Amino acid sequence: MPVSAPDLADVTSGEASLKRFLHGLPGVDQVGAEARVAGLGTRSIKTTAKAYALDLAISMVDLTTLEGQDTPGKVKALASKALRPDPADPSCPRVAAVCVYGDLVATAKEVVGDQVNVAAVATAFPSGRASLEVKLADTRDAVAAGADEIDMVIDRGAFLAGHYLQVHDEIVAVHEACARPDGSRAHLKVILETGELQTLDNVRRASWLAMMAGADFIKTSTGKIQPAATLPVILVMLEAVRDFREATGQMIGVKPAGGIRSAKDAIKHLVVVNEVAGPDWLSPEWFRFGASTLLNDLLMQRTKLATGRYSGPDYFTLD
């Protein structure tokens, strides 16, 4: 990307310059993008590579529950699982984080302590339809409750209406609201809700917008809208973080969320990460899976690889 950091400051200085910049990003040909991920999807990951990929994928899971019916009991069970995904195998890595609504952050934190991160969705998740004040309060509340990471949603309405600066400024404000009294701050994941943005051109623009506004991660979806994470969307977001690093030297993480249920899918994602963004992103620090049912399939495949026989769901905890 032929931009540098000082240029980006100019870009976000006004509505017109921001729009010009975002609309000047190279277009994405949907068919070509789909063909590329389909091609990468045929990579055959076997034996040692599979073992590596399964452990890596487990370590990247943001174990998630985001339901109206969530209770402290449910969240505690989930948090316990995050610490010990496979109670029968201590060599199994922990997941990256537990992801819950803001009011359950403290409950999760009680169980996981500092061993696994707690992420909270905020900013009137999942619709994002609330005033900025409410969104900021939502964010501050979760941070105060001990959230390590905030998963915010962008204002898709503003984005689709072309009010990019408004979207940008809101992310900047939420980023500021992530600050803690000790000077540190919670990490900010920005959910683009790509299913509502529809086009890959929009995904690319929203990715850049979020990165320029200070996102630590860009995340596909809330999981409440279909389609959620798709490989072409992930491809475009990985290209965006790759190009952003080229332009600014700064690495941004990527998190697909929703719809990734099988180990096979997860491994396909890792192949795309590896070949599009590059191996630097193959770490929970830079790539996450927002998922719930995925974890058990990863564990089953892991056990199959270790024991040589197929396992069954009864041998893994349902939390």
Partner 1 sequence: MVSTSSTTGGAFEYAPAPESRAIVDIKASYGLFVDGEFVDGHGSSFKTLNPATEETLAEVAEADERDVDLAVRAARRAFRGWSRMPGAERAKYLYRIARILQERSRELAVLESIDNGKPIKESRDVDVPLVAAHFFYYAGWADKLEYAGLGADPRPLGVAGQVIPWNFPLLMLAWKVAPALACGNTVVLKPAETTPLTALLFAEICQQADLPPGVVNIVTGAGATGQALVTHPDVDKVAFTGSTEVGKAIARAIAGTTKKATLELGGKAANIVFEDAPLDQAVDGIVGGIFFNQGHVCCAGSRLLLQESVADEVLAKLKRRMSTLRVGDPLDKNTDIGAINSAEQLGRIHELAGAGDAEGAERWSPRCELPSAGYWFPPTIFTGVSQAHRIAREEIFGPVLSVLTFRTPAEAVEKANNTPYGLSAGVWTEKGSRILHMAEKLRAGVVWANTFNKFDPTSPFGGYKESGYGREGGRHGLAAYLKADSDLGAK
Partner 2 sequence: MTRVDVRKTYKLYIGGAFPRSESGHTFVVDDAKGRFLANASKASRKDARDAVVAARKAFPGWSGRTAYNRGQVVYRVAEVLESRADQFVAELVRTEGITQAKARTYVAAAVDRLVWYAGWADKVTQVVGGANPVAGPYFNLTSPEPTGVVAVVAPRGPLLGLVSVLAPIVVTGNTAVVLASQTHPLTAITLAEVLDASDVPGGVVNILTGVAADVAPWLASHMDVNGIDLAGVDDPELATALEVAAADNLKRVRRAPAAEPDWLATPGIDRLTEFLELKTVWHPMGI
The residues that are catalytic are 151, 219, 255
Q: Which does 199 bind (CB under 5 to 8 A by kind): partner 2, partner 1, none?
A: partner 2
Among candidate residues 102, 98, 122, 101, the one with its CA nearest the CA of residue 112: 98
Looking at residues 30 to 59 of the shown chain, list those that interact with partner 2 (rule: CB under 8 A): 30-32, 34
Nearer to partner 2, 115 or 199 (CB): 199
Q: Determine, following the binding rule CB under 8 A, whether residue 274 of this chain makes contact with partner 1.
A: yes
Residue 280 binding partner 1, by CB under 8 A: yes
Q: How many CB atoms lie within 10 A of CB 43?
A: 14
Binding mask 99-138 for partner 2 (x = CB under 8 A): ----------------------------------------
Beta carbons of 209 and 10 less than 8 angstroms apart: no
Instruction: In angstroms, give the least distance from the CB of 206 to partner 2.
Output: 15
CB closer to partner 2 out of 16 and 38? 38
Cα separation, 35 vs 73, whole angstroms? 44
Beta strands in 109-183 (DSSP E): 117-121, 149-153
* Distance in angstroms between the alpha carbons of the first and the last residue of the chain: 44
Distance, in Å, from the CA atom of 160 to the CA atom of 283, rounded to the nearest integer, reads: 32
CB of 187 to partner 1, least distance (A): 6
Binding mask 191-210 for partner 2 (x = CB under 8 A): -------xx-----------
Site for partner 1 in 186-215 (CB under 8 A): 187
Find which of partner 2, partner 1, none residue 47 binds, CB within 5 to 8 Å per kind. partner 1
In whole angstroms, what is the distance from residue 209 CA to residue 162 CA?
12
> How many of the other CB atoms lie within 10 Å of CB of 30?
13
Any idea what DSSP says for residue 285? T
Pick the binder of partner 2 from 10, 29, 67, 89 (CB under 8 A).
29
CB 52 within 8 Å of CB 282:
no
Is 250:280 a contact under the CB 8 Å cutoff?
no
Note whether 134 and 142 are within 8 A (CB): no
User: Could you give the CA distance from residue 46 to residue 57 in angstroms, rounded to a whole number?
Assistant: 15
Contact of residue 198 among partner 1, partner 2, none (CB under 5-8 Å per partner type): partner 2
Q: Spell out a b/e string for 136-170, using b for 16 or more CB atoms within 10 Å of the CB, else e.
A: bbbbbbbbebbbbbbbbbbbbebbeeebbbbbbeb
Least Cβ distance, residue 210 to partner 1 (angstroms): 17
Residue 305 found at the interface with partner 1 (CB under 8 A)? no
Kindly tell me the burial class for residue 188, based on how many C-beta atoms sit within 10 Å of its own C-beta (0-12, 13-18, 19 or more): buried
Q: Does 2 bind partner 1 (CB under 8 A)?
A: yes
Candidates 123-131, 173-181, 207-215, 269-277; binding stretch for partner 1 (CB under 8 A)? 269-277
CB of 32: closest distance to partner 2 in angstroms?
6
Among the listed ranges 15-23, 43-51, 68-76, 131-139, the one in contact with partner 1 (CB under 8 A) is: 43-51
Task: Based on the shown chain and the rule CB under 8 A, indicate whether residue 131 belongs to the binding site for partner 1.
Answer: no
| Site residues for partner 2 per CB under 8 A | 29-32, 34, 198-199
| Site residues for partner 1 per CB under 8 A | 1-2, 26-29, 31-33, 35-36, 42-50, 52-53, 56, 96, 114, 117, 148-149, 187, 239, 251, 270-271, 274-275, 279-287
